[in-house]
Chain A
């Protein structure tokens, strides 16, 4: 088969597959149960400790999924660390960019704190707040800070595992006192969720920033590679 014929064949095959998928998905949506799990989640929302249904699903109903998602992020950054030391980064910023960064980074951190807190009642939460923190790190690195504002090797490692660690600590402590793994006792859900989310925000921010820096953090003595 020539190259052009093969390409035409592949195009037709993909178009056919897409058509079949389109048909089947519309069939499933038309004949499906309509509401699915949303009414159940809305009904259970008052008992979840938070007012935002997305946060309730992520941190309460399906918290175990979120725990594994944080572990996926951890695996990704460990894979990046295993691939060698990072690049040297960029030259220090000139005065205009440096001035902008001085304004931008505190604002980003403030916005992250707001998103974390508001996530209990309105759109927001650990993932959005963590992404904000990471954005602050990216801005710092672009402006010539080699470690993107992350702490030294040892503390960076602690930050990166903080999210999963908080999750496990809460889950196992609840199991130990008889509630079952990640089963929040009534009335305490809000603060337990906020604890986990705070740790997760720091971990997600550090993980994404470390992924942007690329390469393993130096384990040298303190002060060796001060930014």
Chain B
């Protein structure tokens, strides 16, 4: 009996152990593990698409005594994105770190992070989510500190403290729910939770903790330095995957666990924070002097769009319109995952070739690194939300939803954010196409440019043109 749910977590974990025990072979172990894990998760996603909801009771005890793993359409969609991005990051990283000592430290931590992310998406137990969150947090912080520079260490320490605060706050909410209902299983809790001060406080605590980890404005303060100073493959994983995992949990809590109990006013509050994130993040991205800093602030803004969906989802009646909104939200998250990973990988290549990533001095990039510049342009198409990217479809549905619900402030925020995104993208591309030559140490490298190109193409063309499959997949037992 092959349990693909357990394999999605155990395969990268096994790879991590092997990479710790045999540091000299870490790169080969890492690449093999990346391929095998992606294949295993692909099998799981196909199972979900064909046979519907997958659930397994670890230890055979069943909830509430034991822990279950569960994959519905939503989990499968995010797993697919996560593992494709992680595969591309692994291929890129196999070249990026060269032969230095960082390589030995990168692979075990990276595979641990991968296992923890897969575990988070499959978790069906509130306390198990906490354990997986801790593993994600610790591995991410250690990875962000890998360059060992003073800025990176300072940023990582701040990231660690913010991450711990988020996890502890989340745990407090879990303790409250367990005290009130005596179970930790998501499905059983969803039936047990009744409106009241206990349920509300627990939701506030858990959402608060997770939104620190999801870098929701104004709790985003730790993100730009941590993501901006990490090695490029790590930045890509942190921005595309780690904050997305925390957001996924918020989504599960609000529209899976609480569903009937979540009220409009609270959803509006999250929406307002999202609006703040869109405007502030985009504005800071426009003002950023360094390419990686710009990409990091752009992540703050893009996470804001995801929270803009909350008031609309809470207001919508169950039915086709609401399913469209939810699918649009997921489509936006997936598109951003692919595009931001591509942008960070491209930025890393530019930084290695130019020796810096100051935007003002990147003139002539288009002539020397045409493929990488193409990647940045493709990623920008998604970040701005131009057709034919998936982000365009998602933003279109967000706008129509906001107009239909009469939430005009949302429309204005989306338009302003889109204009600002266009401004910061064209500011970068304008430099890249400049004529003043910038000294570059290298021209092209297949290993580093192909993964980024594949990610950017997936974001802009793949998701934009094959959105139908996502709609079908999300029908599988997702949040109602």
Contact = CB atoms under 8 A, between A and B. Distances in A.
Interface stretch (B10-18, B377-385, B468-476): B10-18
Nearest to B101: A216
B182 A28 contact: no
A183 interface: yes
Interface string A79-104: 10111100000000000000000000
B145 A63 contact: no
A8 interface: no
A73 B178 CA distance: 25
Nearest to B108: A78
Contacts of B14: 168
A158 interface: yes
B109 A184 contact: no
A125 interface: no
A158 B138 contact: no
Contacts of B67: 62, 64-65
B411 interface: no
Contacts of B16: 71, 74
B1 interface: yes
B158 to A, nearest CB: 15
Nearest to A217: B23
A24 B201 contact: yes
B418 interface: no
Interface stretch (B53-61, B257-265, B308-316, B396-404): B53-61
Contacts of B146: 82
Contact of B105 (A40, A82, A158, A182): A82
B142 A36 contact: no
Interface stretch (B30-38, B78-86, B126-134): B126-134
Contacts of B10: 168, 171-172, 181
A68 B10 CA distance: 10
A75 B128 contact: no
A198 B6 CA distance: 23
A82 B142 contact: yes
B250 interface: no
A224 interface: no
Size bin of chain B's contact surface: 35 or more
B131 A72 contact: yes
A157 B23 contact: yes
B447 interface: no
Decide if the interface of chain A is mainly helix, strand, loop or mixed.
helix
B2 interface: yes
A171 B3 CA distance: 11
Contacts of B172: 21
A50 to B, nearest CB: 13
Contacts of A20: 201
Contacts of B135: 68, 71-72, 75
Contacts of A63: 58-59
Interface string B128-170: 1001101100110110011010000000000000000000000
Interface in A205-227: 216, 219
Nearest to B106: A82
Given A28-B198, A64-B67, A69 B60 contact: no
Contacts of B17: 161, 164-165, 168
A215 to B, nearest CB: 12
B442 interface: no
A216 B109 CA distance: 14
Contacts of A157: 20-21, 23
B131 A79 contact: no
A60 B59 contact: yes
B179 A32 contact: yes
Given A61-B66, A71-B135, A183-B58, A25 B13 contact: no
B66 A79 contact: no
B115 interface: yes
A37 B183 contact: yes
A6 interface: no
Interface in A32-81: 32-33, 35-37, 40-41, 44, 60-65, 68-69, 71-72, 74-76, 78-79, 81
Interface of B: 1-3, 6, 10, 13-14, 16-17, 20-21, 23, 56-61, 64-67, 101-102, 105, 108-109, 112, 115-116, 119, 127-128, 131-132, 134-135, 138-139, 141-142, 145-146, 148, 172, 176, 178-183, 197-198, 201
14 contacts: A37-B182, A37-B183, A61-B65, A61-B66, A62-B127, A65-B67, A65-B128, A68-B131, A72-B138, A74-B16, A78-B105, A79-B139, A83-B145, A182-B58
